[in-house]
Amino acid sequence: MTDFKSEINRILEEHKHRFALEPLSFTDDELEKDRLERQREFRLMTHYLTASIDEEDVEDLKQHIADKLAYDSLRKIGTSEWWWSPSSDLVASTLRDVQRTLERHTKKKIGDRFRKFRWMWWVFIELIYLAIVVGMFSVVNSKFETIMVAALVLIYNKVVLIGSGVAIFFVYLAHTAELIYWEFGRTLRLKVPISRLTEAKKALGDLPVPSLIRNFSIGIGSLIAVWHLVVVLLA
């Protein structure tokens, strides 16, 4: 089990010197104010990052960091809560290091295996489809049956392509809706988590590979059907 508290404390120690400004021997109100503000930022960040980081709380901590980084350049969030207040460049840089560390240590092997398995599953499904197409044409006994099977394959392919297009449209629509919701939330100074928009982006990013595999198999299936149809009609 990863000791998250030790990892976070290590990162804080690495960044601590960036927050430090030596006290001046002469009076300079602005520099003294900046020095005290940096100390305050570091104390608050240390408190919120290490207050509760049990294994069960890591996902919540990751979400808090993502939300704060998403709002780091905005001073529109009307709240005194630290997680929902804008972060300075120093704080944002430290939080990004913590975020990368948490992501690296909480990446689930099961999830990695599942992502690899999805590729094989998509290919397997399309191979089954092509096997069915070839098998159907191998058992036809007449021109009429060949024409009917070819027509069914072409109709099925058209329906699948239309269905895929509709599904892709709704994924893009969901992403656009989440983006608009998040932008309006920022404008209206609401506490809108970034997680929903992140999930919508992930769904959008998962589209190309299965769509490409599906379209490739549909194209091969259509070519097989058209070839048998042409052979029958020209015979």
114 and 101 part of one domain: no
- Do 213 and 128 belong together in one domain? yes
Q: Answer yes or no: pTM beyond 0.85.
A: no
127 and 91 assigned to the same domain:
no
pLDDT value for 128: 95
What pLDDT was estimated at residue 147? 92
72 lies in the same domain as 33: yes
Let me know whether 53 and 168 are in one domain. Answer: no
Q: How many folded domains does the chain comprise?
A: 2
Within this chain, do residues 174 and 154 fall inside the same structural domain, yes or no? Answer: yes
User: Domain ends where: 83, 106, 129?
Assistant: 106
Could you write out the three-class secondary structure of the chain?
CCCHHHHHHHHHHHHHHHHCCCCCCCCCHHHHHHHHHHHHHHHHHHHHHHCCCCHHHHHHHHHHHHHHHHCCCCCCCCCCCHHHCCCCHHHHHHHHHHHHHHHHHHCCHHHHHHHHHHHHHHHHHHHHHHHHHHHHHHCCCCHHHHHHHHHHHHHHHHHHHHHHHHHHHHHHHHHHHHHHHHHHHHHCCCCCCCHHHHHHHHHHHCCHHHHHHHHHHHHHHHHHHHHHHHHHHHC
Same domain, 28 and 86: yes
Q: Domain span at residue 154?
A: 109-234
In this structure, the answer to whether residues 122 and 98 fall within a common structural domain is no
Shared-domain flag, residues 96 and 82: yes
pLDDT tens, N- to C-terminus, the chain (235 residues)? 456 777 788 888 888 888 876 655 545 677 777 778 888 888 888 888 877 666 567 777 787 788 777 765 444 444 457 777 777 778 888 888 888 888 777 665 445 556 667 778 888 999 999 999 999 999 988 899 999 999 999 999 999 999 988 988 998 898 888 888 877 777 776 777 777 787 888 888 878 888 888 999 999 999 999 999 999 888 7
Same-domain check for residues 202 and 120? yes
Query: What pLDDT sits at residue 77?
Result: 45
Of 45, 71, 106, the domain-final residue: 106
